[in-house]
Structure 1
Amino acid sequence: MLLRSLNLRRLSYVLLTGEKNHFLTQLPSIQEKLVDTLRNVSAPIVQSEVYLCVRVLLCRLSPHNLSSFWPVILTEMFRLFEQTLVSLPADGSEDLALVLSASKLLDLLLVLQTEEFQIHQWMFITDTVDAIYRPDEWSPIALLDRLAEAVGDLPAAEDSKVVDHPATATPLVESRPSRRPMLQSVRQIDSIRDLIYFFSQASIASYESVYQSGGNVDWDAVESALLEDMFDGR
């Protein structure tokens, strides 16, 4: 399994070094490989690399070229988060790396706000004004909001640590914020509690950024986060 994960990491690196749409002709074979891995290889270390590779594809291919990819990717992400909700990973579990990797992909999708993803994002976050102003007797439907409640109900760990989460907007020269990943500085987690900030704030941050950013994306932050994850922070 380690060899498979390394091969996927190499693929991600090659894609990242290319220009926009440079590997478009190879996309069908790349997509087939990633989908086959998601469906047939259950090892968390391998599936984590698939989500990293999809993040690279989002940055190196035009969104419309990935349209046929989303049914499988979104289905697998939904299944993973739903499974996490049903059975929260234990501290130190190898499943934590997979949940973090999928969360980073979702984080990037929320930043990019592609048309293909927007019509499905309600499954993962609350994308209405309810994200900011919760109605009386509000009950979460979106997966991340439900995860926030489930993880928030866990007892505090004895050696709990504070995971750094940067601001989700970067001031531009004209003082208009741009969207950037919430998890850009998070390299690894030791407990599902380390993602409570992302789970609880993703809906709010996404809703606010759509109206504040004017569609601006902090691509430097996006690329930097990819490079850090690609080389494990080295």
Structure 2
Amino acid sequence: MSDEEQAHTVYRRLALVDFADELRMGLNLGFYRTFAVPSIARVLVGTGKMSSRPVERAKATGALMYALIDHGLEAPAGRAAVETLSRLHRGLPVGDEEFVYVLAAFCVAPLRHIDRIGWRPTTAEERAAAHAFYAGLAARMGITGVPGSYEALGVWMDRYEARTFAATAEGRALMEATFGILAERLPSALGPLARTAAAALFDERLLQATGIRPASRAVRWAMRVGLSWKSRRSSGRWQSENSR
């Protein structure tokens, strides 16, 4: 097994077995971060698909990402997904920095979410595997400038956000069009509080750049406790089922 195949095996287990719900939520959070980059927000609004058909567009993006995660970059389904992603992004009026940021948001944001609320923190092997997976995707899409490790990518991402995040009409429009998707991923018992609870998952920098009203300290605490409990409960059920 090659190093890339080994990395995919580790990342696939993280994403589909150990932290399936947490990573899916984290990918959503990473996707929302791209709305706070003005150049990316302008492109997303310019295509019209994200604001006019947000659910359809989000599902299409998710399907491509999970085809890559499930099958790997070199499997036929993975190669088809890479080709589709390359075709969709070919000719867009953005540079490599924006593409690197999107990859960073999908790589780093989900693992940071897991580290905050998961039943255990991610391991060094898992973080390295996530970086190898997205660096491999970048190479196949012709994207250059990806930092050489997960830690370096996280530092690059934080500095890029500090330099570029800004409130724009496009970013706020994208958030308004799609915020309900995130709220729907929360427990139905939250009902009318779902949007407020979803805001508790955003940090201050993202809240300011997207115009989302911050959740109260109590709601933020309740969300973290609730998601942590759900993660531990899911882990216990998985471990019980696999010990039989």
Greater share of residues in helix: 2
Structure number with higher relative contact order (C-alpha < 8 Å, ≥ 6 residues apart) = 2
Q: TM-score w.r.t. structure 1 length?
A: 0.29
Q: TM-score w.r.t. structure 2 length?
A: 0.28
